[in-house]
Structure formats: structure tokens, C-alpha cells
Amino acid sequence: MKTATEQLLVQFKALADPIRLRLVALCRQAECHVSELVRVTSQSQPRISQHLKQLCEAGLLERFRDGHFVYYRVPTRSADAAVRRRLLALLPTDEPQLERDLEKLRGLRNTGVAADRTSAEDVAERRLYRALVELTVARPLGDVIDIGCGQGRLLKLLASRANRAVGVDIDADARAFARAELLLAGAENCSLRKGNMYELPFSDREFDTVILDDVLGDAERPTDALFEARRLLHPGGRLLILTATDGSDTQVMKSRLADWCGVTNLRLAPPRAIPGLGLRWLLAVATISDHETVAA
């Protein structure tokens, strides 16, 4: 095992190459797959792959698979994350080449397709966003996962209030749209993953805040989804449950949430109804019961 000094020297050596420096700068801004990095840098795919391998070996990048693509990004959770942040803070923010690379990446991801929104949906979501921001004022989000993140609207809202934000969705197009939006928003601490809400690829107790983003209402196995969300929740953390309603089924959904949380041994605070014009939201906060937190 390398000493801290030896590891730092390896990282300095890796960053001494101009192409590798550009790759790290890009993957610091957003997770990128090889094809994007090839197009931005105008280098060959074998050469970029070799550079990425060296950067991963140096601990400057990590790789993960998402659907058909393998993505690279600067690690955020390893033991030497703080040292790496200080090292990468030395990268110039006004370097013309790095700025051109970032703009080129944004251009590649700009599909030019905006989601269709109605004024009623916008009003309802703005009220929901205000309610979520209020929850974060008194208590930090920490590491957050948004299950059913769709096109990343909540991630954009909450990223600046979180240490790390992960969005999970089964829709590849939605994840691609979210990556483009998060890059434009400068949300460097966000990551997207393909995932099934019944079996997610994360460790037990990995997140301080778990969001079930309008997925329970239509779920075939809502209690299984809650059990999986609960598995990811750090003791003392919060589970935020969002459900869109038309207003007529609000009481029914409140009753269902109470039953589901009872089955999964979650303590549910009284859900808050957030009115809108037609579309409404139900926002509920659940926590692991005190005796289980102590046992954990």
C-alpha cells in the first residue's frame, strides 16, 4: 500500500500530462463517458482509454457502468477525498482550454428538447420546492439519493444543499436529460445511476436523506420499495416521500402511507398537503424508530 506522500506523487505525475489534466477537469464538472471525452478532446478512443486507466489507478477518477455506457468521475467518498479536493482546487478556473472543453461538453449534451410543462404543474412544483427548501434550512441534507429522479428537477434544486446527490431512474432518456441539465446548472456533486427501486446498487445506511420521488403511488410493491429505501437510510436520517395527487385521493394516500410505514417500521410524521391548480403534492417525512436507531 502506498503512503500518502507516494500516492500524492503518483497523482502529480498523472496530472503532468496535458490531456489527462483536461480529462480530470471535465470529470470534475460532471460524470462523462468515453465517447464524450473522445469528442471533446479530439483524441483517439484507445488513447483516451489508456489515459483514463492511468487516472483511475492514480485514484483521481473512478468508473461505473450506467446502462450501455461506462462513466468516469472524480471520486467523492474515498478516504483521501479531502486531499484530492485540495489538489484539484489548484486547477485554474480561467484556463481557456478547460473552458472550451466544458463548453464543448455542454454543447454535446444540449438536446434542445424542453419538457412540456403546464402553468398548473409549474405552480404546484414551485410550492413543493419551497416546502423542500424549508426542510433543509433547519437540518442539512448530507448525502442524498433521489429515487425516481426523472429529469433531475429535484437534484438541481437540492444539489447546493447536499454533500453528495445521487439520482436514480430506470429511464435512460431521463437520466441523459438530467445529466445535461445538471452540467448546465454546475451541480458538480451530482451523479446519475440506473436503478430499480426494489434493489438499488448502494450500501446499507449510505445516505442521510432518501427521497422517494412520486414512485409509491403506482408501485406494485410499495412496502418493498420502502424497505429498500429504509435500508439505504443512515440512522438519524430522513426519508422524504413525495406523491402527486389530484386532490380527491389525498386522504386515501395519507392512509396508505401510514399503513405502509407501519409495516416497514418507519415513524411517519403527519403528511403535508401542498395545493396547486389541479396537480397537488403530498410531502411526508419518515424516520427510523428510536429504538432501532439505538440498536444500529
Report whether 265 contacts 258 (CB < 8 A): no
Separation in Å, CA 293 to CA 239, 241, 271, 288: 14, 20, 22, 6
3-state secondary structure of 199: strand
Single-letter code of the amino acid located at 244: A
The sign of the torsion formed by the CA atoms of 244, 130, 204, 256 equals negative
Q: How far apart are CA 218 and CA 199, in angstroms?
A: 17
Contact of 243 with 124, CB cutoff 8 Å: no
**What pLDDT score was predicted for residue 277?**
54
Q: Give the model's pLDDT for residue 295.
A: 44
**pLDDT tens-digit series, residues 59-73:** 999 999 998 899 999
> With b meaning 16 or more CB within 10 Å and e meaning fewer, what string describes 197-234?
beebebeebbbbbbbbbbbbbebeebeebbbbbbebbb
Say if residues 23 and 37 touch (Cβ distance below 8 Å).
Answer: yes
Write out residues in the chain with pLDDT < 70, as ranges: 1, 79, 111-122, 124, 276-279, 290-296
- Tell me the helices (H) and strands (E) count for the chain, helix number first: 12, 11
| Contacts (Cβ under 8 Å, ≥6 apart) of 271 | 241, 253, 254, 257, 282, 283, 284
DSSP string spanning 230-257? HHHEEEEEEEEEEEEE-STTHHHHHHHH
Torsion of CA 136, 289, 220, 282, to 10 degrees: -40
Phi, psi values for residue 87, rounded to 5°: -65, -50
**Residue appearing with cell numbers 454543447:** 107
| DSSP-derived pairing of the beta strands 69-73 and 62-66 | antiparallel
Q: Which three cell numbers stand for residue 105?
A: 461538453
- What pLDDT is attached to residue 293? 47
Which pLDDT belongs to residue 249?
81
Grid coordinates standing for 222?
410499495
- Calculate ∠ Cα 95-55-57, nearest 5°: 160
Cα 291 to Cα 227, 247, 266, 269: the distances in Å are 17, 35, 11, 17
Q: Mutual orientation of helices 4-15 and 81-88 as an angle, nearest 10°?
A: 40
Q: E strands within the chain?
A: 32-33, 62-66, 69-73, 142-147, 162-169, 190-194, 207-213, 233-245, 266-268, 272-274, 280-288
pTM: 0.86
Domains and CATH numbers, the chain: 4-109 (1.10.10.10), 119-295 (3.40.50.150)
**pLDDT score at 88:** 84
Q: How confident is the model at residue 294, as a pLDDT?
A: 39
